[in-house]
Structures are given as structure tokens and as C-alpha cells.
């Protein structure tokens, strides 16, 4: 297990639900961006109606040092990337026609080893989990330029080695603390972006929580516990954001990434040790999980992330063999089947992925 932990510290997966629907003013179309930490690059793809990925002209694009976490602004004008070794955040503008990326002239300082990014639904604030300094950096986002400015009080303390984070649709921030086996929960000031830790936080989970995702309604939270081989499930109090444990579910060997489809029907878990994806249906009333027929599904060699596409039709899995596998999602059962042209080869092990349409 120690070897697995050391390797994955270099290729931190960002989950969560990495997708956007058509809600902005930039009409670039259906695209995906993938961070390649080993190559200091970001790969860009167009996505066709079958889920096939085709490289955008100019891809891959040069990035910072060990780019890992990635997030697209709701306006679809900007891409933000956390550079783990560089200790900073890159901001790219998206060409509205081609989807090509152009980095701004300066990067924004973070803390030590920023690993993952999240954003509120309005695109006002960006949150960065700094795995080396055990805190969360919060930035306000300038609407006209996308520029980042640290909010008053930033950074805010988290647990030991915060490795992943997500903002629920109700506006609460949840952070997976890998080395303290816990989830830190915060309310977010809608005016200032400042964080206030919730009463009862942090919440205990399994060993080495590595990914966290919420359903689109903000009712449930799911955590992939890398060393425990399990998924911790919680219900979310809609007014306070507090968590109540539902149950723990067996996932596979070394579950490293968890994703929820955009309709809140299914949970997908990438198991790095067993090289597959476990798929579960969600009980809409309780949040309980039931493994679907055919699960787990084979997925490359040592997966590092699983991401549900913005269309809710596809699941993408990046693996250690420097490939990205595409799967079609059966909307009635949640079952997975390979897409046309899959897998796509990339220049180094992919770290994280974000899609929009």
C-alpha cells in the first residue's frame, strides 16, 4: 500500500463531478481538457455525439509545473489549473471557436502542493486544496477577466493532506483529508467567499479518502477511500450542510476516484488496484447504493480518475498507461460500454479531466 500511496501523490485525481452544461456565453461546443502532470501540459479534445475524443488544434498546451486539478468557469471563457509542484494556479482563456487554450501572462500563487480545484455554481469563487500545507486557498474571480484575488482570511485550515474537494449545489464545501481519514465541511459566504467550518466537522470516513463527490441535488455525498477499498455515503442537511452517515460500501481495490452522473442516478468508482470501474445506482430517497448488473467494468491499467461527461452520456477514465478510455452510459441501467475510438493515448499519465458543452 505504501508504494500505491507514494505514486498516487504525484497524480492526484480530481473528481468530482467534472462537467458543465450549456449555461455560459462562450459557444465553443462540446470539449474536454485533461491535465498531464508528467509532461507539464493540458490536452484538449472536441467530443462528438458518440463520445469520441479528437484533439483540438494546438493540443497539448503548455502548462505549469505538474498540472493536476482543473476546473472550467461557468462562463466557459476560462480554465483554471492547479500546478502541484509550482505551488500556483494557471488561468487560460478558451478560444470561442476552436477551444484552444492561451495562458495568461502571470500565475496566481497558492500554498504548498495545490492538488485539486472547485468552484461555486455562480463562478464567483475558486477553491484550491493545498495538500502540502493542509489548507484551502480561496479566490474571488473577476467577471470580466477571470483574474484571481485571494479573499480575506485565505488560506483556511483543513485536515492533514487535503487531496480533493467539491462544492454542493446547496453551496457547502467538502474537503477530503487523505492523511487524517476525514471530511472537512464548510459554509461559504456568498458575498466574501470566506469559509466557516461547520459544527461537527471534520467527519470520519475510511482510510485515505482520495476523492469526494455530491449528487446534483446536493442531497448526498460520496467519498472514495483508497486504502479501505470502500465508499462512504452521507446524507446532507439542506439547511446546515451537516453530514449524516448512510453506510459504507465495498468498491474494489484502491478506489481512487468517485463521480456522480448529472441526473443523480448513478455513482461510478475508479478502482486503481483492480483496474476497473464499480457502478452503483442511487436510491433517490435515502442515498443508499446498489451495485448494478455487470459491475465492475474493466477500465484500462490502474485507473486514476473517472469523470462523467457534461452530456451525462459518457464516462471517461484516465489510467497509468497514459490512456483515456471512453464509455457510453446506459441511461436506464447505468451500465457501461466502450465508445468509438477508445482509448486515446496521451503524452504522460493523465491527472484530471473536465468537460463542457
Distance CA 213, CA 195 (A): 19
Mean pLDDT of the chain: 93
Q: Per-residue pLDDT for 20 more than 50?
A: no
- Region 233-250 average pLDDT: 98
Tens-place pLDDT, residues 294-303? 999 999 999 9
Listed in sequence order, the DSSP H helices in the chain are 2-8
Give the CATH fold of the 2-356 domain.
Answer: Methylamine Dehydrogenase; Chain H (2.130.10)
Peptide bond preceding 217 in cis form (omega within 30 of 0): no
pTM above 0.85, yes or no: yes
- Region 309-315 average pLDDT: 97
Per-residue confidence band for 28, with pLDDT thresholds at 50, 70 and 90? confident
Question: Using an 8 Å Cβ cutoff, are 258 and 231 in contact?
Answer: yes
Tens-place pLDDT, residues 266-276? 999 999 999 99
Q: Per-residue pLDDT for 6 more than 50?
A: no
Q: Give me the pLDDT at residue 105, please.
A: 87
Please, what's the b/e burial string for 278-293 (b: 16 or more CB within 10 A of its CB; e: otherwise)? bbbbbeeeebbbebbe
Q: Within 13 A of 28's CA, how many CA atoms are on the CB side?
A: 31
Tens-place pLDDT, residues 180-216? 999 999 999 999 999 999 999 999 999 999 999 999 9
Q: Per-residue pLDDT for 16 more than 60?
A: no
Q: Give me the pLDDT at residue 321, please.
A: 97
C-alpha cell at position 142 = 473577476
Q: How far is CA 276 from CA 143, 273, 309, in A?
A: 40, 8, 18
Residue 47, phi-psi category: left (phi > 0), alpha (psi -120 to 50), beta (remainder): beta
C-alpha cell at position 274 = 483492480
Q: Per-residue pLDDT for 17 more than 80?
A: no
Amino acid at each position: 500500500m505504501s508504494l500505491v500511496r507514494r505514486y498516487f501523490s504525484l497524480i492526484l485525481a480530481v473528481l468530482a463531478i467534472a462537467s458543465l452544461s450549456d449555461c455560459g456565453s462562450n459557444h465553443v461546443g462540446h470539449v474536454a481538457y485533461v491535465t498531464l502532470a508528467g509532461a507539464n501540459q493540458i490536452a484538449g479534445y472536441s467530443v462528438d455525439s458518440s463520445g469520441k475524443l479528437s484533439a483540438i488544434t494546438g493540443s497539448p498546451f503548455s502548462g505549469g509545473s505538474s498540472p493536476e486539478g482543473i476546473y472550467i468557469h461557468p462562463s466557459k471563457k476560462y480554465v483554471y489549473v492547479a500546478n502541484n509542484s509550482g505551488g500556483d494556479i494557471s488561468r487560460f482563456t478558451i478560444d470561442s471557436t476552436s477551444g484552444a487554450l492561451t495562458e495568461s501572462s502571470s500565475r496566481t500563487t497558492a500554498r504548498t502542493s495545490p492538488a485539486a480545484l472547485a468552484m461555486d455554481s455562480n463562478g464567483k469563487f475558486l477553491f484550491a486544496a493545498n495538500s502540502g500545507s493542509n489548507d484551502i486557498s480561496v479566490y474571488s474571480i473577476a467577471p470580466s477577466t477571470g483574474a484571481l484575488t485571494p479573499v480575506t482570511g485565505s488560506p483556511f485550515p483543513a485536515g492533514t493532506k487535503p487531496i480533493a474537494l467539491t462544492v454542493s449545489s446547496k453551496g457547502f464545501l467538502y474537503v477530503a483529508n487523505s492523511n487524517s481519514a476525514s471530511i472537512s465541511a464548510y459554509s461559504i459566504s456568498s458575498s466574501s467567499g470566506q469559509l466557516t467550518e461547520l459544527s461537527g466537522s471534520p467527519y470520519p470516513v475510511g482510510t485515505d479518502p482520495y476523492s469526494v463527490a455530491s449528487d446534483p441535488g446536493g442531497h448526498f455525498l460520496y467519498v472514495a477511500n483508497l486504502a479501505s477499498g470502500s465508499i462512504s455515503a452521507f446524507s446532507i442537511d439542506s439547511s446546515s450542510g451537516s453530514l449524516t452517515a448512510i453506510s459504507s460500501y465495498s468498491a474494489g481495490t484502491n478506489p481512487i476516484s468517485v463521480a456522480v452522473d448529472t441526473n443523480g442516478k448513478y455513482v461510478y468508482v475508479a478502482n486503481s488496484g483492480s483496474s476497473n470501474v464499480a457502478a452503483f445506482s442511487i436510491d433517490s430517497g435515502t442515498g443508499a447504493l446498489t451495485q448494478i448488473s455487470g459491475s465492475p467494468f474493466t477500465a484500462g491499467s490502474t485507473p486514476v480518475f473517472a469523470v462523467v461527461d457534461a452530456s451525462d452520456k459518457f464516462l471517461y477514465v484516465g489510467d497509468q498507461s497514459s490512456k483515456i478510455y471512453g464509455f457510453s452510459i446506459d441511461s436506464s441501467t447505468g451500465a457501461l460500454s466502450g465508445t468509438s475510438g477508445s482509448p486515446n493515448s496521451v503524452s504522460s499519465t493523465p491527472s484530471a479531466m473536465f468537460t463542457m458543452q
